């Protein structure tokens, strides 16, 4: 039985290490402390902690204490030499005689280090072996249960530290990828805005001269049809360019207390003809007593027109578009849903929908949803989509009802 002071030492060491696991993001710092403390507390000769490199399948030395450089220069050990089912199932394994045990890879080197016995502690996390903590002893000894408990606890803390480091690494990789993507998009946006700006003026010239020429030619003359096409297509280009400039400008919303139902009604009025021609039925279900929100009515109207036009395009002929408004469960957000019975979105397109220039339409610029997404985000809201191919799509706008600056709720008068 270890003395009371030894147990206190175990306890304090464990507390120090578990504190560091929680507070430090540097896994090396934790593992260095583990190998040092475990060697001292167990009166061992040395300790070595290897971590499994998921790419190479090798156990690479990650922290060591008390081993010579010659031993450490032996490098990694392959997975097949270390991992046996026994290692995954047991919290510790004692190798009583290093010279005759087949699990020992570098026997000669261990002899040179003066080691005769080993305590192995597999670092298992979520059923996977993440590494191995190996403690080396000069003389053979019989372990006390408290000593084993202490070593196993430190191995568990090491597994937590490794797992935490992996999570941080994964998050960092994801963040880097996202940052690269955002940077690419904003560079593309800047470039597109530059081009749009340059094209805008010559286009205005083409439109001006073709319109004045069209007025001068006879209605049944040979040039009339061609000029009309020039005017129509130039106007289309102008709309695309304006959308592009709008997207790149990323205007700050001019927020005022607004009646969202009136904004929706105005957007619907502008598209009534389009809906009638396509025999699309429009259902509106408005939440009674909807709280007022601070928003830029013009920008929100633009979002709704984009969503309604997309819905109409997805339906083509005959179908239903439903617009619903409601408050979220906590009463802090306004939710607007635009649902259609159209063709729906292919699953592989779902995460591209809000990217600028993504379009499946022959004449689509792919800016409608990108602009809408930006506007909703500038309102501290969210624009999301749910869809099943063949069954239609539902776009949801969520907007906060509370203005952060004023911290006040607005109610319908």
Ligand X SMILES: Nc1ncnc2c1ncn2[C@@H]1O[C@H](COP(=O)(O)OP(=O)(O)OP(=O)(O)O)[C@@H](O)[C@H]1O
Which entry of ligand X, Mg ion, none binds 61, CB below 5 to 8 A by partner kind?
A: none
Closest contact distance (angstroms) between CB of 245 and ligand X is 13
Q: For residues 199 and 186, what is the distance between their CA atoms, to the nearest angstrom?
A: 20
Q: Which stretch binds Mg ion (CB under 5 A): 15-23, 108-116, 364-372, 393-401?
A: 364-372
- Distances in Å between the Cα of 256 and the Cα atoms of 187, 303, 342, 403 are 32, 17, 34, 10
Q: Which residues contribute to the site for ligand X (CB under 6 A)?
A: 306, 310-311, 314, 340, 342-345, 353, 358-361, 364-370, 393
Decide if residue 66 touches Mg ion (CB under 5 A): no
Closest contact distance (angstroms) between CB of 257 and ligand X is 28
**CA-only gyration radius of the chain, Å:** 34
With respect to ligand X, which residue has the nearer C-beta, 13 or 310? 310
With respect to Mg ion, which residue has the nearer C-beta, 310 or 341? 310
- Distances in Å between the Cα of 21 and the Cα atoms of 170, 349, 402 are 18, 41, 40
- Distances in Å between the Cα of 5 and the Cα atoms of 9, 16, 152, 158 are 6, 16, 19, 24
Which entry of ligand X, Mg ion, none binds 359, CB below 5 to 8 A by partner kind?
A: ligand X
User: Crossing angle of helices 368-378/224-249, nearest 10°?
Assistant: 30
* CB-based closest residue to Mg ion: 368
With respect to Mg ion, which residue has the nearer C-beta, 157 or 310? 310
HSE-up (13 A, CA, CB side) for residue 160? 16
Which entry of ligand X, Mg ion, none binds 345, CB below 5 to 8 A by partner kind?
A: ligand X
Q: DSSP for 269-314?
A: HHHHHHHHHTTEEEEEEPPTTPPBEEE-HHHHHHHHHHHHHHHHHH
Q: For residues 210 and 407, what is the distance between their CA atoms, to the nearest angstrom?
A: 54
With respect to ligand X, which residue has the nearer C-beta, 46 or 248? 248
Identify the DSSP state of 99: T
Decide if residue 310 touches Mg ion (CB under 5 A): yes
Closest contact distance (angstroms) between CB of 254 and Mg ion is 24
- The token pair at 278 is 């396509």
With respect to ligand X, which residue has the nearer C-beta, 49 or 370? 370
With respect to ligand X, which residue has the nearer C-beta, 66 or 392? 392
Query: Of residues 366-385, which lie at the interface with Mg ion (CB under 5 A)?
Result: 368
3-class secondary-structure state, position 3: coil
- Degrees, nearest 5: CA angle 130-6-14: 35
With respect to ligand X, which residue has the nearer C-beta, 144 or 355? 355
Closest contact distance (angstroms) between CB of 321 and ligand X is 9
Closest contact distance (angstroms) between CB of 312 and ligand X is 9
With respect to ligand X, which residue has the nearer C-beta, 359 or 410? 359
User: Crossing angle of helices 297-315/368-378, nearest 10°?
Assistant: 150
Closest contact distance (angstroms) between CB of 309 and Mg ion is 6
Closest contact distance (angstroms) between CB of 369 and Mg ion is 6
Which entry of Mg ion, ligand X, none binds 370, CB below 5 to 8 A by partner kind?
A: ligand X
Closest contact distance (angstroms) between CB of 362 and ligand X is 9
**What are residue 202's phi and psi, to 5 degrees?**
-55, -35
Q: Give which of 118, 90, 91, 114 is closest to 104, Cα–Cα.
A: 118
Which entry of Mg ion, ligand X, none binds 92, CB below 5 to 8 A by partner kind?
A: none
Which entry of Mg ion, ligand X, none binds 76, CB below 5 to 8 A by partner kind?
A: none
In this structure, are residues 320 and 280 in contact, taking their beta carbons and an 8 Å threshold? yes
Residues near Mg ion (CB under 5 A) are: 310, 368
């Amino acid at each position: 039985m270890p003395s009371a002071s030894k147990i206190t030492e175990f306890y304090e060491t464990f507390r120090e290490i578990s504190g560091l696991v929680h507070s430090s993001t540097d896994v090396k710092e934790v593992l260095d402390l583990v190998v040092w403390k475990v060697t001292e507390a167990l009166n061992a000769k040395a300790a070595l902690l290897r971590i499994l490199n998921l790419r190479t399948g090798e156990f690479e030395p990650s922290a060591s204490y008390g081993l010579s450089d010659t031993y450490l220069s032996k490098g990694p050990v392959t997975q097949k030499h270390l991992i046996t089912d026994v290692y995954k199932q047991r919290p510790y394994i004692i190798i009583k005689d290093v010279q005759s045990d087949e699990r020992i890879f570098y026997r000669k080197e261990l002899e040179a280090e003066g080691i005769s016995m080993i305590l192995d502690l597999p670092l298992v996390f979520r059923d996977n072996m993440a590494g191995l903590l190996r403690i080396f002893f000069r003389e053979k000894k019989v372990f006390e249960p408290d000593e084993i408990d202490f070593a196993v606890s430190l191995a568990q803390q090491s597994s937590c530290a490794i797992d935490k480091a992996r999570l941080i690494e994964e998050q960092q990789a994801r963040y880097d990828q996202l940052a690269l993507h955002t940077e690419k998009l904003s560079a593309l946006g800047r470039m597109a805005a530059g081009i749009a700006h340059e094209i805008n003026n010559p286009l205005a010239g083409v439109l001006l001269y073709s319109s004045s020429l069209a007025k001068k030619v006879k209605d049944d003359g040979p040039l009339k049809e061609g000029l009309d096409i020039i005017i129509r297509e130039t106007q289309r280009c102008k709309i695309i360019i304006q959308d592009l400039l709008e997207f790149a400008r990323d205007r700050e919303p001019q927020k005022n207390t607004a009646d969202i139902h009136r904004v929706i009604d105005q957007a619907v009025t502008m598209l009534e003809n389009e809906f009638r021609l396509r025999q699309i039925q429009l259902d509106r279900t408005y939440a009674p007593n909807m709280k007022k929100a601070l928003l830029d009515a013009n920008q929100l109207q633009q979002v709704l027109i984009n969503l309604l036009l997309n819905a109409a395009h997805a339906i083509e002929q005959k179908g239903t578009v439903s617009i619903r408004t409601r408050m979220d469960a906590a009463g802090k957000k306004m939710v607007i849903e635009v649902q259609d019975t159209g063709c729906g979105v292919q699953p592989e397109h779902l995460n591209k929908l809000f990217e600028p220039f993504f379009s499946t339409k022959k004449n689509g610029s792919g800016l409608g949803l990108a602009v809408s997404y930006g506007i909703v985000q500038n309102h501290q809201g969210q624009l999301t989509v749910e869809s099943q191919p063949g069954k239609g799509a539902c776009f949801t706008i969520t907007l906060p009802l509370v203005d952060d600056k004023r911290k006040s709720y607005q109610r319908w008068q």
